[in-house]
Structure 1
Amino acid sequence: FRSIFPPERLQRIARMEAEHFWFVGRRMGIARWLRAVGPLDGWVLDAGCGTGAHVQWLARQGLRPLGLDLLADGLRGLRAQEPVLPLIQGSAERMPFRDGAMAMVLFLDVLEHLDDRTGLREAFRVLSPGGWLLLSAPAMPWLWSARDVAAGHRRRYTHRTLEARLREAGFQIVHWQRYPFFLFPWIVATRILSRIYPAVLEREERPGRILNAWLTALVQMEVTLGRWIRWPLGSTLLVLARKPISLME
């Protein structure tokens, strides 16, 4: 596959994934669930890993990460930085792995880009019995905006539609959470305003250092409180699901 992204854009995306308040808060929630599931004896697949920022992060958590992405651009940049990390170019709709090879599969804002039934069936296939699926996906179809179009999304989910897809694929849902709740009014406002003033989305993507620090503290507080509170609203659904150990479960 030829390169379609200029290096400076890839660097900007990687920097945003590392520092932007939205990614920091989501990563904090993922870390809490990783601690909850306990030690993972096997590969942790980041399917649709993009620039590979989360593959690096998973390695720092002491896990055995494996990155998979259809486009070579992000993989090439990460391989130059981290030559020892296992990275494979391939489709999340047809994963090049044997049945039961993975202890966990992550779909971090990837499912909305796929034929979701196919993607979830593949995740189920490559997971070992009792293996974990951790995913995030955009919620609330009425929030559809120019950001979804630019990102190549096929859909946004309701809780019920995502739950139905997971159960249809064979997964047991262990936990789910909406995110972010505290910033939800701002997100709604930017989505509505962007229909008239597209530049509003640029401000959300590049909030500035001081504003980003303040928003980061806010989402971190929300994720911490999320241990005890199931937030009623949020533009993203976070789901932890499991492949049954046996067909009798």
Structure 2
Amino acid sequence: MDIRYEAQYHLLEEQHWWFQARRDFVFALVQELGLAPTAPLLEIGCSGGPLLLRLRESGFSNITGIDISPRAIELAHRRGLPNSFAMDATKLDFADESFDIIIASDVLEHIEDEAQALREWHRVLRPGGRLIVFVPAFSMLWSQHDVVNHHFRRYTRETLLTALRQGAFSISRSSYWNGVLFAPALLVRGMQRLLQPNAPAAEAADANGDLTALPKSINKALLSLLRFENKLLGKLNFPVGMSVFAIAHKSVSQRS
């Protein structure tokens, strides 16, 4: 991730509509699993820890976070999350079968060796444990935002599920997320490619990608829109979206 983008990310991650709405949905998915408050939970790519803080406030007492960025972990420590560590998601410094649940939101696309990451996540997950994973969707939405974030790929539902199954996970549920903004985003991406067809990716990349502070009224409106969509996703799956997510599990019969 570009350092300038990361600084902007940490400034906005608690209040920005996208991150708030996604945290809401991930939190709801965790609640649906009916885990005990003492269940060991790992968030990969925890950033400054806003989701971990919410989970702790809801009663989870055995939470751990990792992030590749020492700056993110320093911020998490300042926010009162001492059990967070700077760590490579492909080389986890945890024993086999350490966690009942792993959360990884917008992490896998940053990792060149996707298979190695999933092997590690599978290794530290207990039999019967769950993995909640979010990734950006559709290569047709590739933009300067992906360049600034140092993404290696975008996913479809099928490519995400294939990667998870090749990593020995079984799938409990999968869907797209943020379907309401898919069509506008596709139009914008198309216009950008039309107006700058030969622009080198590095030159075209704004340091902030798509991450900007919006007026409070617009931020609130977009957050309300996605929160409404989150409620719908509690009852159905979407055929398209800006992101794709899956809930996968490690078979009870599997051992690391």
Give yes or no for TM over 0.5.
yes
Q: Equivalent residue for 2:158?
A: 160
Alpha-carbon distance in 2 for matches of 1:93, 1:105: 14
Please tell me the root mean square deviation across aligned C-alpha atoms, in Å. 2.3
Deviation at 1:177, TM superposition (A): 1.9
Deviations 1:23-50 (A, max 9, x none): 1221222122112110244321111222
Q: Specify which of 21, 31, 44 is matched with residue 17 of structure 2.
A: 21
Cα distance change, pair 86–174 in 1 and its aligned pair in 2 (3 A)? same
Does the aligned pair in 2 maintain the 1:146–1:194 contact within 8 Å? no
3-state secondary structure, aligned to 1:231: coil
Alpha-carbon distance in 2 for matches of 1:204, 1:116: 25
Deviations 1:149-202 (A, max 9, x none): 110100001111111110111111111121101121222233233444767x86
Alpha-carbon distance in 1 for matches of 2:219, 2:18: 9
Deviation at 1:103, TM superposition (A): 1.1
Query: Is 1:85 aligned to 2:82, yes or no?
Result: yes
Cα distance change, pair 21–238 in 1 and its aligned pair in 2 (3 A)? same
3-state secondary structure, aligned to 2:172: strand
For structure 1, list consecutive stretches of 5 or more residues without a partner in the other structure.
none
AA partner of residue 107 (structure 1)? A
Does the aligned pair in 2 maintain the 1:135–1:239 contact within 8 Å? yes
Q: Equivalent residue for 1:242?
A: 249
Q: How many residues align?
A: 241
AA partner of residue 95 (structure 2)? R
Deviation at 1:203, TM superposition (A): 6.7
Cα distance change, pair 72–144 in 1 and its aligned pair in 2 (3 A)? same
> TM-score under structure 1 normalisation?
0.88
What is the 5 A alignment of 1:4-153? 5=3, 10=7, 12-40=8-36, 41-63=38-60, 64-82=62-80, 84-114=81-111, 115-153=113-151
Alpha-carbon distance in 1 for matches of 2:39, 2:235: 30
Alpha-carbon distance in 2 for matches of 1:77, 1:161: 34
Alpha-carbon distance in 2 for matches of 1:97, 1:9: 26
Does the aligned pair in 2 maintain the 1:5–1:73 contact within 8 Å? no
Alpha-carbon distance in 2 for matches of 1:135, 1:93: 15
Query: Is 1:227 aligned to 2:237, yes or no?
Result: no
Alpha-carbon distance in 2 for matches of 1:244, 1:213: 41
The farther-off stretch of 138-147 and 63-72 is 63-72
Q: Percent identity?
A: 27
For structure 2, list consecutive stretches of 5 or more residues without a partner in the other structure.
197-203
Q: Equivalent residue for 2:200?
A: none
AA partner of residue 109 (structure 1)? D
Alpha-carbon distance in 1 for matches of 2:9, 2:144: 18
**Which has the bigger relative contact order, CA under 8 A and spacing at least 6?**
2
Does the aligned pair in 2 maintain the 1:79–1:85 contact within 8 Å? yes
Does the aligned pair in 1 maintain the 2:109–2:153 contact within 8 Å? yes
